[in-house]
Amino acid sequence: MADYLFGPVMSSRLGRSLGIDLLGERTCSFDCLYCESGPTLKKTMTRQKYAHAGAILAELKQWLHDNPDDHPDHITLGGEGEPCLNLELGKIIQGIKRIEPDIPLAVLTNSSLLHDHQVRKELQHADVVLPSLDTLVQKEFIRLNRPFPGLNIQDMARGLEAFCNEFSGRVLLEILLIPGVNDSRANMEKIAAFLKNLGHERVDLTVMSRPGAHMHLKTPNRETLHRWQRALHSAPETAGKGIQPCSTDRAADPSIILDSIRRRPQTLEQLCSALGSAPEETSAMLDHLVREQKVRALGHRKEKFYTLKEF
Ligand code: SF4
């Protein structure tokens, strides 16, 4: 099994994406109610070499060598925590661009470290950055994102603003809406005002489309979503787009399936589409892994997701 690479996975915002985890274990500055990796094990704001650049780049070289005809839409730094916590972020980004300059490099971030000039500088060589900012109301921020003590949402917003001013690549902002938690009028108005001068390319309103740390969370109704889309001039909901039909008759390697669903719960369709594997064979493989109790099958919004986690 790979230590850092996973997937490719299907992403509604990035297409078919080869994931790279820079933390190794669930290490994050937040512990979001909706986290699809499950509860954060280590909540921190301390930057460290959680995973070494050399080991990550060696895994990527090996993957490219083993999959010469595979060309994912993006290589994405994300996974089970906040990638900007890795002290070697800049080295990793530049190393990936040297090894594979033709595949756009994306970075997912919860925005908590963008106040740090050094982090903003290290991100400059990425092609796409996808920061999240679910609320500008401090009380909602504490309740939804459960941040490291002392983190203030206004400081984070200032960091995001500074980043957008300095970064020449694409910035795709994400706001995940949970009814009764961050869908307040106060939040909508604050975010709409904030976005007016942000300089981002696009804002995506998303909903919980997979099982998360807290399964009881609801998704907003259509009327709420449309109200927010109008207020923020956001793109229509993208969940579910990008699923490709599959035309192979091979099942995916079980270790690749396990690596992939460890970071993100996925349906059979999403797995087959991302890994290019056959539905029947992959379904049989998943059933086998469920019987061996290596994988759990969970129902969520009328779909069956496969995961390693206890949610
Ligand atoms: S959703 Fe992202 S920011 Fe929130 S706890 Fe999970 S990894 Fe951290």
Is any ligand 1 atom within 6 A of the Cβ of residue 151? no
- Distance (Å, rounded) from C-alpha 76 to C-alpha 92? 12
Q: Which of the two residues, 287 and 123, has the higher pLDDT score?
A: 123
pLDDT of 132 above 50: yes
SS3 288: helix
193/305 same-domain check: no
Per-residue pLDDT tens over the stretch 63-105: 999 999 889 999 999 988 999 999 999 999 999 999 999 999 9
**Tokens (6 digits) for 278:** 């056959």
Q: Which of the two residues, 170 and 220, has the higher pLDDT score?
A: 170
Q: Tell me the average pLDDT across 52-60.
A: 96
Is any ligand 1 atom within 6 A of the Cβ of residue 28? yes
Nearest to 82, CA basis, from 128, 125, 37, 34: 37
How much distance in Å is there from the Cα of 301 to the middle of ligand 1?
21
Ligand 1 atom nearest to CA at 31: 5
Provide the pLDDT for residue 289.
87
Is any ligand 1 atom within 6 A of the Cβ of residue 100? no
Is any ligand 1 atom within 6 A of the Cβ of residue 82? yes
213/287 same-domain check: no
Upper half-sphere CA count for residue 282 (Cβ side, 13 Å): 27
**Tokens (6 digits) for 153:** 């949402």
Range of lowest pLDDT (1-10, 92-101, 192-201, 213-222): 213-222
**CATH number, domain with residue 101:** 3.20.20.70
66/169 same-domain check: yes
Domain count, the chain: 2
Question: Residue 243: which pLDDT band, with cuts at 50, 70 and 90?
Answer: very low
66/100 same-domain check: yes
Per-residue pLDDT tens over the stretch 142-164: 999 999 999 999 999 999 999 99
**Domain end among 211, 226, 242:** 242
Beta carbons within 10 angstroms of residue 146's beta carbon: 17
Upper half-sphere CA count for residue 93 (Cβ side, 13 Å): 25
65/191 same-domain check: yes
52/153 same-domain check: yes
Provide the pLDDT for residue 51.
93
> Best of 25, 30, 217 to mutate for ligand 1, by most ligand atoms within 8 A of CB?
30
- Distance (Å, rounded) from C-alpha 198 to C-alpha 111? 14
pLDDT of 209 above 90: no
153/286 same-domain check: no
pLDDT of 251 above 50: yes
- Residue 173 CA, distance from chain mean position: 12
Question: Residue 245: which pLDDT band, with cuts at 50, 70 and 90?
Answer: very low
Q: Tell me the average pLDDT across 259-271.
A: 81
For residue 83, give the DSSP letter.
G
pLDDT of 126 above 90: yes
Burial (Cβ within 10 Å: 0-12, 13-18, ≥19) of residue 180: exposed
How much distance in Å is there from the Cα of 239 to the middle of ligand 1?
18
Helices (H), the chain: 53-66, 89-99, 117-122, 138-145, 153-166, 185-195, 222-232, 254-263, 268-275, 279-291
93/232 same-domain check: yes
266/201 same-domain check: no
Is any ligand 1 atom within 6 A of the Cβ of residue 141? no
SS3 267: coil
Q: Which residues of 41-58 are buried (b: 16+ CB within 10 A; e: fewer)?
A: eebebebeebbbbeebbe
124/184 same-domain check: yes
**CATH number, domain with residue 263:** 1.10.10.10
pLDDT of 168 above 90: yes
Question: Residue 212: which pLDDT band, with cuts at 50, 70 and 90?
Answer: low
How much distance in Å is there from the Cα of 191 to the middle of ligand 1?
20
Is any ligand 1 atom within 6 A of the Cβ of residue 81? yes
**Tokens (6 digits) for 161:** 């603003």
Beta carbons within 10 angstroms of residue 167's beta carbon: 18
SS3 210: coil
**Domain end among 196, 216, 242:** 242
Nearest to 217, CA basis, from 228, 209, 225: 209
Is any ligand 1 atom within 6 A of the Cβ of residue 32? yes
Q: Which of the two residues, 78 and 247, has the higher pLDDT score?
A: 78
CB 103 within 8 A of CB 75: yes
C-alpha separations of 224 from 10, 186, 218 in Å: 26, 14, 13
How much distance in Å is there from the Cα of 284 to the middle of ligand 1?
31
Provide the pLDDT for residue 247.
46
223/311 same-domain check: no
> Residue with the nearest Cα to atom 5 of ligand 1?
31
Ligand 1 atom nearest to CA at 132: 3
233/275 same-domain check: no
Provide the pLDDT for residue 175.
95
**Domain end among 242, 275, 298:** 242
How much distance in Å is there from the Cα of 109 to the middle of ligand 1?
8
How much distance in Å is there from the Cα of 281 to the middle of ligand 1?
32
Domain that holds residue 78: 5-242
